Amino acid sequence: MNNEKFYLTTAIAYASRKPHFGNTYEVIMADAVARYKRARGYDVFFCTGTDEHGQKIENLANDAGLTPQAYVDGVAGEIRGIWDKMNASYDYFIRTTDAPHVAAVQKIFKKFFEQGDIYKGYYEGWYCTPCESFFTETQVVDGKCPDCGRPVQQAREEAYFFKMSNYVDKLLAHIDANPEFIQPESRKKEMVNNFLRVEGGLQDLCVSRTSFQWGIPVDFDARHVTYVWLDALTNYITALGYDPDKTYEEQSEHFKKYWPCDVHIIGKDILRFHTIYWPIFLMALGLPLPKKVFGHPWFNAAEEKKGGDGAEVKMSKSRGNVIYADELSETFGVDGVRYFALSEMPYDQDGRICYTNVLTRYNTDLANNLGNLVSRTHAMTKKYFDGIVPAPAGDEGPDAELKAAVAVAVRDFAANMDTYRIADAAEVVFSALRRANKYIDETMPWALAKDESKKARLGTVLYNLLETIRVAAVLLTALIPDTCAKIFAQLGTDRTAWESAADFGALECGKPLGEAVMLFARVDEKVVDEIIRKREEAALAAEKAAAPVEKPEGCALIGIEDFMNVELRTAKVVACERVPKAKKLLKLQLDLGYEQRQVVSGIAKFYEPEALIGKKLIVVANLKPATLCGIESQGMILASGEQTVRVVFLDPETPLGERVR
């Protein structure tokens, strides 16, 4: 045990939409690391939160008819709700609209300006609104953003820029002197070769905008708001109470205790901002740099096929393949979702997710391997020893192999967690659990129970199984905490500390087991097949709804003279009734203000007569009268559609008889 501090963060989630599974993976991974470090005795501070400014949010709020603040309040609450549902044990949830953060960012911006790191100029180039990023002509790929693949637009506006070139050499020296600073190694090479050591050098960074208002105002230049990356990145220090008016030595004890950060856990797509711009900002502030930035891979959606070997595509709402963690947990439980996320993501390659993959991983590892092992062992101890933990005798047969497998799991689990190889850490534990299931087949406790002379051997076998389960639960608490708490309760033990994992034999003999509970009920394939069917139907419906309306053929063009010959007038329905023996027709009495008209219209299938009385609409007033079912019609009302007809209604305040132009 130790009392060292450990400060870790996730990237703060952008408060534009509900986060999909790929976004949620990051906070689950960070939580596993935080829980592991706490178990090892570290004083952990785990920070996450929401990034709430920018043009994209301003546009979404306008589309929703909300103020930007009201919009982000709703989305930030949804994000935090999902983090909580996934059992994230964060210590602080920061929002970039928090008043202390806003005040600190304004001071940081002014400090940079006053010390000559920021200057005013004009930006002209390509801009990606979803990514809130500017790109040069050479960076844009076929008119699209190199990061997200969406179209970019030309932009020109007054802006402040940060002189990145002032700190490039210092940053390169830091990266060379600290080989573990950027992980995995492949990510480091990408940052250095593609951005830092390039012809022309690192470009200065735009740090303010004038084309929208939803951002932290630059308090000495009212036209400008702080650009999202200077705003968002500084959350890692403002969350600790950083005061820009003080030196590092003068900061609060809380800040100095946890800064520098031990690891920023982020997605690989924002590595450039965290390993180049963020360290340079910190250098300009005179603060130590983070010890490590870990850029994890993505979860990509895979087509739903048996075996999970379908084609892989990026998760996208437009493709209808988005999976949300909270919805997934309705079928597989929170720990089922956590385990899939942590066990399925490789160290430096993208993971694959679809309901079929989750089902396979859940049933194979959790229901069959772990759940079945706990259930069988508990039941046999109840049956053969009245639920009392038996005392082990000497080792024989495969006992040593089982204990060796458990010892390897303890050793390798720690080594993998320390290097953020979470999936590998999960695998070593489940390898030991598979060995325990094999141990049951080798020792055959049910056969030993038939021979009273082998009672001691039976006790040894069951003890070894119970102890293997306990050690596995100690390790897996970082990954599936609720499940492990249930395991400890079934074992009737309080030997849950990390140190006890290395001490095979810590489970107390002679103590009664707790009550048995099912850990993971096997999920039937038919349940998932039905979910997949409904998702595919919803995706097809969404695709159909989003399909562009085809231009009707055969529409002859007319001149303005022809259009002006059509006299459209406003009118009010004063009476309406069905036309006898005509299912489609309604007879309407219209008041045009200057005269009354009778119009017959084929809208009876879509409107009840009484629903139209008092409505104001548009009538073609100079149409030649026609006779329909023996009734004269003196015009035509305007409506849209063919399969479904919708009358064009007017504002109730519209005067009667006005000409529509």
Averaged pLDDT in 10-residue chunks for the chain of 661 residues: 87 96 96 98 98 95 96 97 98 98 98 97 82 75 81 88 94 95 89 84 90 95 93 98 97 97 96 96 98 95 68 54 94 98 94 94 97 98 97 94 98 98 98 98 96 96 98 98 98 97 96 97 95 87 71 65 84 92 90 92 90 93 88 91 84 88 78
Cβ atoms of residues 586 and 578 within 8 Å: yes
How far is it, in rounded angstroms, from Cα 184 to Cα 267?
12
Q: What order of strands is seen across the sheet that includes strand 133-135?
A: 133-135, 118-128, 153-162, 205-206
Show Cβ contacts of residue 521 under 8 Å, excluding neighbours closer than 6 positions: 367
Q: Where in the chain is the domain with CATH 1.10.730.10?
A: 367-502
How far is it, in rounded angstroms, from Cα 459 to Cα 393?
8
CA angle, 249 then 205 then 140, to 5°: 145
* Nearest by Cα to 335 from 492, 497, 477: 477
Token pair 């600190």 is found at 104
Is the Cα torsion angle 427, 428, 429, 435 positive or negative in sign?
A: positive
* pTM, entire model: 0.80
pLDDT of residue 315: 55
Cβ atoms of residues 193 and 172 within 8 Å: no
What size, in residues, is the chain?
661
User: What architecture does CATH give domain 367-502?
Assistant: Orthogonal Bundle (1.10)
Cis peptide before 279 (omega within 30 of 0): no
Radius of gyration of the chain (CA): 34
Would you identify the CATH topology of the domain 560-647? OB fold (Dihydrolipoamide Acetyltransferase, E2P) (2.40.50)
How far is it, in rounded angstroms, from Cα 238 to Cα 494?
39
Q: Where in the chain is the domain with CATH 2.40.50.140?
A: 560-647
Cβ atoms of residues 603 and 647 within 8 Å: yes
SS3 assignment, position 507 = coil
How far is it, in rounded angstroms, from Cα 488 to Cα 470?
7
DSSP state of 84: H
* Nearest by Cα to 284 from 120, 160, 164, 200: 164
How far is it, in rounded angstroms, from Cα 212 to Cα 433?
56
* Nearest by Cα to 278 from 592, 656, 12, 472: 12
Helices and strands (DSSP H and E) totals, the chain? 22, 25
* Nearest by Cα to 459 from 523, 521, 395, 403: 395
User: Chain-centre distance of CA 523, in angstroms?
Assistant: 25
Is the Cα torsion angle 464, 468, 469, 474 positive or negative in sign?
A: positive
